[in-house]
A and B are shown apart, each in its own frame.
Chain A
Amino acid sequence: MKSKSNLERVLEAGHFAVTGELGPPASADAEVIRKKARILKGHVDAFNITDGQTAVVRMASWAAAVMGKQEGMDPIVQMTCRDRNRIALQMDVLGIAALGINNMLCLTGDHQKFGNHPAARGVYDLDSIQLLKMVRDMRDEKKFQCGDDIAVEPRLFIGAAENPFADPFEFRVPRLAKKVEAGADFIQTQIIYNVDKFAEWMKGVRDRGLHERVKILAGVAPIKSMGAARYMKTRVPGMDVPDSVLERLQGAPTKEQVSRQGINLCVDIIKQVREIEGVAGIHLMAIEWEEVVPEIVEAAGLLPRPVLPE
């Protein structure tokens, strides 16, 4: 084992993994984190803690992860290159590992233009692929990016994101291959609504044998309202929301029934992606709607979650 990660154990044991997601508050309120963590507990194998998602200032991912750890869970710290250069990134990697956190997701980060401090200067000293390789080399080679030795290496289970729906589509499998080459142990994909296109991408992944070198978790998310569906279709870059999804939600007469349809659709997509060869699990993103996670995981037939000794 590369780490003490519960997610790694679950995947290595061959279980279909479930990861969740928790957005820290835009405040110093620790109770919010604990409440959300308790909802997810027992329903996911590990959960991501976002790192200033959409470039809005929120509690630090590592700090919220420590609280999640105190709740007896296995947090995945998201680490972005937007706000830190290679010096700060490596300092955080050491600190996170020393705090007993076992997982890190390496991202470039949402552009500062989309957040609440659009005048901020973006750092982008490294990109996500360079960050992956740096963290992998810190763990496996016991070397800093500059080449200096590390006495005690950070034993992290290292993840990355990939978007099968962005352009150019033909480059999306090769780009995954780059992330595997750079050191990704697991991948969480962009939210899937177009299952056919995702299946086509997975075929390319299998053709290159990448599914045997990296654990691929399919990204899924329930849609809460028509407004959210339309927003994702038209305004969120890199999202592919087919018309059939909007039609299915439109058929519901009340807001509550739209949400209900959104949850059902999510469960259906989980069942479909589970059938695709090479998919090792799901990454369920119910940001600010964490309370539906237990229900979705149960309806998808993914309970109980395996309990494996360290």
Chain B
Amino acid sequence: MLAVQIKAKEEILPLISSKRLFIFECLGCRDVHYPVEEAQELIGSLDEEIVGKATLDYLCHRDYSREYIKAYAPEIDEAQVILVFSCGVGAQVLSSLLEDRKVYTGCDTLYLSGFQGLTAKEYNCGQCGECYLNYTGGLCPVALCSKNLLNGPCGGSQNGKCEVDPDMPCVWQQIYDRLARLGQLETMERLGAPKRWNASPLQ
């Protein structure tokens, strides 16, 4: 779904440097806005070993993504990092299906008024520009935290719930649990800088 732009190489490199990569590329919304050539250029410029690459449609669709993962299981197993070129929904679906794997996105998702894509309801992507999923275990704090904190959890997180709504999970507790599982708790101590809300060239 949706419109994306490719992240700067310097932003992605620290996450993937010297790692074996498996690359997912989603073309489901290429007609909306997917810079195919820029993506190819970035992928082609990487020195990292690419053990496999799958160019597919609609990673945002959970059932499709589950099948894709099955089809590419041997290559995915061999990889140390899964690098995804898709919108924030696709990246969140893949990281939720690959809970024990480091899944990073190579894209920022841009705001597109009125267009909500295939399955945006299930996985919240606020299409907010500069994407933080690479530092939050693939769970979006902008869309899922009541105060869209980038340095959570706040003092109102209790028993896994958000103080604002007892039926709502605290996404920062989930982020903490996911990063603990991935052995990446040090990422929780990274100072999340003020977000660039203006990252969209489409506005």
State the A residues within 8 Å of B (CB): 81-82, 86, 108-109, 111, 113-114, 122, 124-130, 133-134, 145, 161-163, 165-168, 171, 174-175, 177-178, 181-182, 190, 237-238
Question: CB-CB < 8 A to B149: which residues of A?
Answer: 108, 124, 127
Q: Are B156 and A237 in contact (CB under 8 A)?
A: yes
Seen from chain B, the residues whose Cβ lies within 8 Å of a Cβ on chain A are: 146-160, 163-165, 170, 173, 176, 188-189, 191-195, 197
Known A-B contacts A113-B164, A134-B194, A167-B157; the reply to A178 vs B148 at CB < 8 A is: no
Q: Which residue of the partner chain, among B151, B156, B158, B173, contacts A127 with CB atoms under 8 Å?
A: B151
By secondary structure, the B interface counts as loop
CB-based nearest A residue for B150: A127
Give B75 Cβ to nearest chain A Cβ, in Å. Answer: 35
Instruction: Please state if A168 and B197 are interface contacts (CB–CB under 8 Å).
Output: no
B192→A238 contact, CB < 8 A: no
B153 pairs with A168, CB closer than 8 A: yes
Closest CB of chain A to B174's CB: distance in Å? 11
In the bound assembly, the distance between CA atoms of A134 and B170 in angstroms comes to 26
Given contacts A82-B147, A113-B164, 5 further A-B contacts (CB under 8 A): A126-B194, A127-B150, A128-B154, A163-B154, A168-B157
Given contacts A113-B164, A124-B148, contact A129 B155 (CB under 8 A): no
Nearest A residue (CB) for B166? A237
Pairwise interchain contact A174-B147, C-beta atoms closer than 8 A: no
- Are the CB atoms of A127 and B160 closer together than 8 Å? no
Residues of the A chain whose Cβ atoms lie less than 8 Å from the Cβ of B163: 111, 237-238
> Considering the chains assembled together, what is the distance between the CA atoms of A178 and B172 in angstroms?
15
A231 → B minimal CB distance (Å): 14
Tell me the complex Cα distance, A178–B154, Å. Answer: 12
Most interface-central of A81, A86, A122, A167 (chain B CB within 10 A): A167
B191 in contact with A167 (CB, 8 Å): no
User: How close is A153's CB to chain B, nearest CB, in angstroms?
Assistant: 19
